[in-house]
Amino acid sequence: MAFRKILLFVFLSLALVLIGATASVAEAAEPNDQCLQCHSNKGFSIEKEGKTVSLYVDSNELSQSVHGTNDCQTCHAGMEDIPHKETVSSVRELAAKVTERCQVCHADVNKEYKDSTHGKLAAEGQETAYCSDCHGAHTIVKTENENSLVNRTNITETCTKCHSGEIAESYVESFHGKAVNLGSTKAATCVDCHTDHMILGPTEPKSTVSKANVPETCASCHNTAQPNFAVGSEHWTFEPDGPGKPMYYTLKFFTWLTIATIVLLIVHIELDLFRKYKNAGKK
Amino acid sequence: MASTKKFERFNIHQRLQHIMMFTSFIVLTITGLPIKYNHSWWAPKVTALFGGFDNMFAVHLIGAAVMIASAVYHLLYLIIYPIIKRKFSIAAVPTIKDVTDLVQNFRYLFGLSKEAAKFDRYSYKEKFDYWAVFWGMVIMAGSGLMMWFPDIAAQFFPRWFIDSTRIAHSDEAMLAILAIFIWHFYNVHFSPDFFPMNFVWFHGKMSEESMEHEHPVELERLLENDNSMTRGQGPSYKKGESSEIKM
């Protein structure tokens, strides 16, 4: 009997070790469990600048994103202590801070970004687009994925979150904008002319949309670089002054030509029907 | 009494040109309007019928090629046909009679005169249609080709000019669509004289009764000519022959 007791003891000890081992393996596979204990609660929020900021993270979406297997700490460094000691004062500051963490992995892209107008403004501490403004935060998927904020079906909406007004209006009314809106796989989106991470303003000589470089940029789709491609403006709206002037007067001319012609033709039809009606009455 | 005599009004070339023109016009309307009104609820649905924008746009370009071909066919026809047939006509050119016809017709429509205007081969309405298409083709094909081949267009024109032609393309299209589906469709489809359709586009022939009503001046001249021919040479009247006097 003593032998059986020893056996049972050994068996139970081994079982305990096994359970412990599986438990630690499970913990290693879900390193974010501790974070999600709080952050997976939908109502989890904080008051910042007088506004309620949600601190909720959809763990399902996060696990489906390209960063689904990363630790929370990869992007949110210095959050070991609970409650967190290293806090930010605003949502924008968080975006800036996380942008610094992106370069740990995306070093090449980050270098391009730092040289771009967006990156320069970030360095100056001015309001600008950080990585997460274009790519999203916990939901980042590959560009080819239709849900990606930088997929060609969504990129216009993403850029025009900030670049609204004349820039957005003119693109939406352009042939490129119309074609992309209806699902064209060829027509130019914002990034086809402006590039993605290396975006520079039109006044910078190196910019793809500077006057000197516009012909070459157009030629990347339209065969040959014609100097005339730069004689005019891409982002014009129908205004009697400014770059949209020729188009404005073309629109006015054809609008009034159409109204006048069609009104006269309809009057002619009505008179014709009136005469036929009268003549029919006589017979 | 209604005569069974038929007059050839449009020959096979003219009828083919018209068929090429209206088939491509309908295709271009269907594939073009979704681009003009891309934010409407129906534009994505029409685009989906073609299996996406790229396909729909390819169909638009095919339609454009057919329409331009019909215009080239017509211009060549205008030059070559008179040389081969040794017949030359300027019947489609506007004259003073068109102005007096217009005035007379409006007096008649308003009830100020009992007499309707008597038209020759082409009434002022038909001349308007013809020259409207002529003008429309210049605008539509010109602007369309500039957008189709922007790098070639940019060898001659600045960017803002090519952008303006896109506006012209979109708005002249609207004018053409309205003119065709209201005015032209009234004249050849919905008018009580022809409903449901004037089939002259198909067989090219018009009855003497219709001629009497629509083109009395031309009919008079054709019959006079016919009579003198019959008196002089003796052969009996042959269908379609008389209209050969005019092209």
Which of B108, B167, B178 comes nearest A247 by C-beta?
A: B167
* pLDDT at position B236 over 50: no
Model confidence at B230, pLDDT cuts 50, 70, 90, reads low
Q: What would the pLDDT profile of B158-169 be if each residue is shown by its tens digit?
A: 999 999 999 999
Domain parsing of chain A, residue ranges? 33-140, 233-261
> Which residues 138-177 of A have a C-beta within 8 angstroms of B?
172, 175
Q: What would the pLDDT profile of A99-121 be if each residue is shown by its tens digit?
A: 989 989 999 999 999 999 999 99
B159 near A CB under 8 A:
yes
Q: How far apart are CA B139 and CA A229, in angstroms?
A: 21
pLDDT value, residue B101: 96
pLDDT value, residue A22: 58
Distance of CA A276 to CAs A205, A221, B75, B190, B205, Å?
Answer: 70, 57, 37, 13, 25
* pLDDT at position A283 over 70: no
Quick check: A217 and A208 in contact, CB under 8 A? yes
* pLDDT at position B243 over 50: no
* pLDDT at position B1 over 60: no
> Which residues 56-75 of B have a C-beta within 8 angstroms of A?
56-57
Residue B179 distance to chain A (closest CA, Å): 7
A53 near B CB under 8 A:
no
> Which residues 120-139 of A have a C-beta within 8 angstroms of B?
none
Q: What would the pLDDT profile of B117-170 be if each residue is shown by its tens digit?
A: 999 999 999 999 999 999 999 999 999 999 999 999 999 999 999 999 999 999
Model confidence at B238, pLDDT cuts 50, 70, 90, reads very low
Enumerate residues 6+ apart whose C-beta is below 8 A from A131.
A95, A98, A99, A102, A113
Q: How far apart are CA A74 and CA A102, in angstroms?
A: 9
Distance of CA B8 to CAs A219, B127, B233, B240, Å?
Answer: 53, 18, 21, 5
Enumerate residues 6+ apart whose C-beta is below 8 A from B202.
B15
Q: How far apart are CA B242 and CA B205, in angstroms?
A: 12
A243 near B CB under 8 A:
yes
What's the pTM?
A: 0.86
